[in-house]
Structure 1
Amino acid sequence: MDIKKIFGTVLTLAGIGGLIYTAILYGNGSENTRAMVIYGILGALFFFSGIGLIRNTSKSS
């Protein structure tokens, strides 16, 4: 397995974790909206960059 695919997988899993944590904070009725926004944006950024890295690496191999 290529190192880029491994890094893309790690980024994708970190993004999923961030999005799940955001959903848990939202579900618990957290009043700290700043934390929810930050975790949500970082989770989405990690998720989509990981997916993009996996897609681009598999096409070139």
Structure 2
Amino acid sequence: MALQSIKNLKEFSTANERFEGAHLLCPGCAHSMIVRELMNATDDNLVIASATGCLEVCTA
């Protein structure tokens, strides 16, 4: 399966949110902003992994 291209700015700005806003991370947390941008950049299925910390605990 070939990967799709990254969305352009117009597609990115009008895309549906893939990262739910009901997480318990601190407001303005860099973890949530980074994951949100990664998930919204493409429509491909993604697996995002990171070290155990607040990101995994607060989004379970």
Q: Could you state the TM-score of these two structures normalised by the residue count of structure 2? A: 0.32
As a proportion of its length, which structure holds more helix? Answer: 1
The higher relative CO (CA closer than 8 Å, separation ≥ 6) is in 1
Query: Radius of gyration: which is bigger?
Result: 1
Q: Could you state the TM-score of these two structures normalised by the residue count of structure 1? A: 0.31
